[in-house]
Structure 1
Amino acid sequence: MPRRADAAPIARDTVPTSSTFSPLRHANFRLLWIASLASNTGIWVQNTGAGWLMTSLAPSPIMVSLVQAASMLPVFLLALPAGAFADILDRRRHLIAAQSWMCLMGALLCLLTALHLIGPWGLLALTFAIGAGSAMNSPAWSATMPELVPRADLTQAILLNNIGFNIARSIGPALGGFIIGLAGTQAAFAVNAACFLVLIVALLVWKREAPRQTLPKEHFLSAMRAGARFVSASPVMRAIILRALAYFLFAASMWGLLPLLVRERLGLGPEAFGLMLTAMGVGAVGGGLAMGRLRAIMGRGQLVLLGSVTGMVALLLLGVAPHWSVAGVGMLLYGVSWIVASSSLQAYAQLSAPAWVRARAIGIYQLGTFGALASGSALAGWLGDVVGVQWALLGFGLVGLVTAFAVLPWRMETATHAEPAASALPQPEAVAPELAPLLARDRGRVLEAVRYRIDPADRTAFLAAMAQLRGVRLRSGALWWRLYEDVAHPEQWAEFWAMESWTEHLREMHRLEPEDRAAIARAAALHRGDRPPEASRSIAHDP
C-alpha cells in the first residue's frame, strides 16, 4: 500500500551537497573513475556493434530488441546473488573477476565475428554472457563508492559516475559507428575487450583497505535472505523500486526500437545511429551538470517525476519524428531524462541502505530496474512488429506519462519523528556459561522477546511505536515478528521475533542504524515501571 500523505511529516533530502567534481580530489576514486570511463566507452562501442550487427543477421524488430534484452536480463537474474557475493567477499577481487570474465567474452565475440561464425542466436548468447559479467560487477561497484569518498561527497560521486557513464555514452556510440563503418563490427568488439583491460589494471593498482570484521562472514544463502528481508521491510526502498519500475519499463522502448527507427524510418546508416546515441549522451551530461541546482529546489519525488515526464515526451518526439533533426532533439531530451531519473533513483537507493546490506539492496533495486528494462525492450520489439515502430514509441510514451503520475503516492522520503524521551533500551541478561558451547555451534533459531507494561491511555501511541519497531526488527534480519497483548492484564504486552541463528542475532545489534535505535527508544519510553522493559533470548531445540 502507498504511504498516506497525512501519515507523518516528510523530510526533504538533507544529504550534504558538494560541487559536481569534488569527488575527483580523492585519488582512489579518481583512478577508478577514469578507468571506468574507458571501460564504459568500450561497452557502448560493443552495444552499438551488437545492435547494428543484428540488423544484418536478423532485421526484425523483435530480434533487434532482444539484443538489448539479452544485455539487461542477466541483471534481473543475477542481481540478488551478485549483491550477496559483493557483501560477503572481498569487493576488489570480486570486481577483478567480473571484469576479466567480460574481457574474455568480448574477445570471443570479436573472434567469432571476424571468422564469420556468429549467427543471431550466438550474438544473443555472447551478449547475455557479457551482461552476466556486468550483473556481477554492478552491485559491488555501486557499494564500493562509500569506501572511496566521504559521505559528504557520496551523492556527487554517484552523480559523477553517471556523468562518466554518459560521457562514455556520448563517445562510445559515435566511435562504434565509425569503427563499424571503417573496419566492421569485429573491430568494435575488439576495442571493447581492450577497454576492459584498463579497468582491470586500475583495480589491481587500487590498494583497498577492507573493513574489519568482528563476526564470521555471512553464508551466501543466509545473506540473500537477509537482503530480501531488509528491502521488503523498508517502505522507502520499496517506493524507490516501484518508482524505478514505472520509469524504466517505458523508457526501455527506446533501446529496443532506435536501431530500426534510424535504419528504416529515417533511412540512415551506422554513423547516424552512433550520433543519435551521442546526442543522448550529450543531453545526459548537460542534465548531470544541472543536477546540483535541481536537487536544491526539488524534493526526491519531484526530481524523479521531472525525469520521467521528460523521458516520455522524448519518446513521443521520436515517434512522430519525420527527420533526423527532430529525432536528435528527442534523444537530447531522453539523455536529460535518463540522468535525472536514473542517477536520482540510484543515489536514493544507496543512501537508504546501511553499509551491511548496501550491495544486496542495490542488487534487488537493479533486479527490478533491469528486469523492467529487459521486459520493456522486448515488449517494445513485439509491439513494433504488430503496429510498427512509430506507434510503439507513441504508445509507450503516452502510457508512461500516465504511469509517472499514478505512482506519486509512493513517497521516497523518510518520515521524521520527534526525538524520544531519554530511556534505557531493553537489555537481555548475559548468556549462561553452560550454554556458551551450544551457542558456539551456531545451530538453532533464536527467539527474542521484550515485555512492556503500558498505561491504557498510551495504547494508541504504543501501537504506532510498535508498527515502526516491526520494520526495525525485520530490516535487521528477523524471520518474523509478532506483538501480543495479555487478555487478563491489558497493560501487559510482549513482542516476539525470531533470528535465523545465534550469529545472526549478534549481527542484529551491529545492523541497527541511529534511527532504528531511536525507534526502540520511543517504544521503551512508553513502558511504565521501575525497570526497563524485560528482554530475553531463547535458543530452539529439536525434541
Structure 2
Amino acid sequence: MATSLFSRSGSARALSHRDFTLLWLGTLVSNIGTWMESVALGVYVTQVTGQAAWTGGVAALTHLPSLVLAPLGGALADRFDRRTFMAVCICVQALLAALLTVLAATGNLSVPWVAVLSLLNGAFSTLVIPCATALTVAVVPPEDLHNALSLDSAQFNLGRIIGPVLAALVLTQVGIAGALFVNTLSFLAVLLALAGMRGAASPLPPKAEALWAGIMRGVRLAWTDPGIALALGSGALVGLLISPFVGLVPVFALKVLGGDATTTSMLLTAQGTGAVIAAFGSGAIVARMGRRAFLEAALLLVGLCSAAYWLSPSLPVALVTLFILGAVYLVAFTGLKTVCQARTPPELQARVSSLFLLLVNAGYILGVWGQGALSDRVGVRPITAGCALLFFGIVVGMRTLRARGLAALGT
C-alpha cells in the first residue's frame, strides 16, 4: 500500500522526496497547534463579547497584514536563503504564541490583546507562506508540483481535523492556557524540519533587479496572463463570499446551534475530514473529467454547498453539509492555485503565489468582518447563505453570458 502511494501514479508520490516530507510533517504539527489556538481564541472572543462582529473582526486581523506584506514576502523568498528566512519568522511566531500563553495563564488575556497579537502573528505568517511555497517548488520536480500542492492542502486540513479535537479536550481539562501552550511548542517541529532539509539550502544568487521592480514583474505577469488573472479574481471572490464560514464557525456553533467549544470542534473536524478525503481521492476524478472541468464543477458547487451548510436546521445536518463543503472548497482552491503555478515561470512562482495570497486574504478580511457585522443586525443565516448563493449566481452568470467565460482556467 505504501509503495503504491509513493509510486509515480500514487496519490502521495511527492512524499517520496525526503525534504518535502520533512517540511510537510513539520508544518502539519505546527498547523495542529495553530488550529488549537484558533478554536481557543474563537471560543474565547465569542463568549466574552457575544457578538459575531468581534469574532469575525479578530479572525480578519490575522489576514490583514497580507494586504501589505504578501508581495514583499514573495519577492524576499526569491532573494534570501529560504530556510533561514523561514526559521526567523517561525521563531517570532513562537514568541508571540508564548506571550498569549503567559497572558492566559496569569488571567491577563483580553480581547484587545488577542486582536493585537493576532495582527502581529498574521504579519509573520504572511511572510512564511510564499517562502514555504518556494521551498516546495525547490524540493520537488515539476511533474510532482500539483501533487505536492494537493498534499499541502491535505496537511492543512489534517491539522484542522486533529487541532480542534485536541483543543476541545484541552479546553475542557486544562483551559485556554493549555491550548495556547501546545501551539507554542508546535513551532519547534517546523524548526527541526528546516534544520534537517538538505536541498534548497544555499542562498540564491544576488539579484540585479530592484525589489520593487521584481514585485511589479510578478504583477505584470498576473495582469497579462488571462488564466492567472481569472484564477486570482476567482480566488478573491471565494475569499469574500465563501471563506468566511471558516472564521465564523464559532458563531454558528454557539449562537445558531446553541453549542459550545465541542460543537465548534466537531464542525471544524467535519470540514477538515472532507478536505483531506478530497485531497487524496480526487486524482481519479481529475483524470477522467480533466482538470479544468473538475475545477469549473467545484466552483459551481461550492456556493450551493456553503448555502446548504448555513441553512442547516440541526448539528447532524450541519456536520454532513460541512463535510461536503470542506471537500468542494479544497478542490476549488487547490485548482485555482495550481492554475497560477502551472502558468507561471519558475523564477516568478513565489511572487504569483504571494499575489494569490493577497487577493484571497483581502476578500476574506472584507467577507468575514462584513458578514459577521451584518449577521449581528440581520441574522446569521440570511447574510451568510445569501453571500453563498450570490457566488453561485456569479459563476452561473459567467458560464451563461460568456460561453467560454471559464475557459482560461485551462492549464
Length-normalised TM-score, structure 2: 0.92
Q: Is the 8 A contact 1:68 1:377 kept in 2?
A: yes
Cα distance, 1:405 vs structure 2: 2.4
The residue number in structure 2 matching 1:121 is 112
The residue number in structure 1 matching 2:237 is 246
CA shift digits 1:290-345 (9 cap, x unpaired): 22122213344432332233322232223322211011012101211221011111
Moved more, 212-221 or 81-90: 212-221
Who wins on radius of gyration, i.e. which is larger? 1
The residue number in structure 1 matching 2:407 is 411
Q: Is the 8 A contact 1:88 1:218 kept in 2?
A: no
Query: Where do residues 391-430 of structure 1 align in structure 2 (5 Å cutoff)?
Result: 391-408=382-399, 409-413=405-409
Matched, 1:316 2:327: no
SS in 2 for 1:412: helix
Q: Is the 8 A contact 1:246 1:403 kept in 2?
A: no
Query: Where do residues 3-82 of structure 1 align in structure 2 (5 Å cutoff)?
Result: 18-82=9-73
Matched, 1:134 2:130: no
Cα distance, 1:357 vs structure 2: 1.2
Cα distance, 1:236 vs structure 2: 1.9
Cα distance, 1:264 vs structure 2: 1.9
Change (3 A) 1:97 1:407: farther
Moved more, 105-114 or 229-238: 229-238
The residue number in structure 2 matching 1:336 is 327
Cα distance, 1:227 vs structure 2: 2.0
The residue number in structure 2 matching 1:235 is 226
Moved more, 200-209 or 38-47: 200-209
Q: Is the 8 A contact 1:86 1:140 kept in 2?
A: yes
The residue number in structure 1 matching 2:274 is 283
Cα distance, 1:269 vs structure 2: 1.2
Structure 1: how far apart are the matches of 2:143 and 2:128?
25
Structure 2: how far apart are the matches of 1:152 and 1:207?
20
CA shift digits 1:233-275 (9 cap, x unpaired): 2222111101212222211231243212111221111012111
The residue number in structure 1 matching 2:5 is none
Q: Is the 8 A contact 1:18 1:156 kept in 2?
A: no
Give aligned-pair identity as a percent.
26
Moved more, 135-144 or 250-259: 250-259
Structure 2: how far apart are the matches of 1:348 and 1:293?
18
Q: Is the 8 A contact 1:83 1:361 kept in 2?
A: yes
* Equivalent residue for 1:386, pick from 352, 355, 377: 377
* Equivalent residue for 1:221, pick from 209, 212, 226: 212
Structure 2: how far apart are the matches of 1:405 and 1:114?
51
Q: Is the 8 A contact 2:79 2:205 kept in 1?
A: no
Q: Which amino acid aligns with 2:98?
A: A
* Equivalent residue for 2:164, pick from 164, 170, 173: 173
Q: Which amino acid aligns with 1:399?
A: L
Cα distance, 1:226 vs structure 2: 2.1
SS in 1 for 2:258: coil
Query: Where do residues 474-493 of structure 1 align in structure 2 (5 Å cutoff)?
Result: none
How many residues are aligned here? 399
Structure 2: how far apart are the matches of 1:54 and 1:108?
17
Q: Which amino acid aligns with 2:254?
A: R
Change (3 A) 1:299 1:247: farther
Note the aligned Cα RMSD (angstroms).
Answer: 1.9
* Equivalent residue for 1:106, pick from 89, 97, 108: 97
Length-normalised TM-score, structure 1: 0.70
Q: Which runs of 5+ in 2 are unaligned?
A: 1-7, 400-404
Change (3 A) 1:106 1:134: same
Q: Is the 8 A contact 1:243 1:407 kept in 2?
A: no
Q: Which amino acid aligns with 1:411?
A: A
* Equivalent residue for 1:160, pick from 140, 151, 154: 151
SS in 1 for 2:344: coil
Q: Which amino acid aligns with 2:334?
A: S
Structure 2: how far apart are the matches of 1:63 and 1:231?
34
Q: Is the 8 A contact 1:68 1:255 kept in 2?
A: no
Q: Is the 8 A contact 2:230 2:409 kept in 1?
A: no
SS in 2 for 1:404: helix
Cα distance, 1:179 vs structure 2: 1.1
SS in 1 for 2:407: coil
Change (3 A) 1:207 1:120: same
Cα distance, 1:206 vs structure 2: 1.4
Structure 2: how far apart are the matches of 1:249 and 1:241?
12
Structure 1: how far apart are the matches of 2:395 and 2:101?
40
The structure with the greater share of residues assigned to strand is: 1
Structure 2: how far apart are the matches of 1:304 and 1:384?
30
CA shift digits 1:445-490 (9 cap, x unpaired): xxxxxxxxxxxxxxxxxxxxxxxxxxxxxxxxxxxxxxxxxxxxxx
Structure 1: how far apart are the matches of 2:193 and 2:241?
36
Q: Which runs of 5+ in 1 are unaligned?
A: 1-16, 416-543
Matched, 1:144 2:140: no
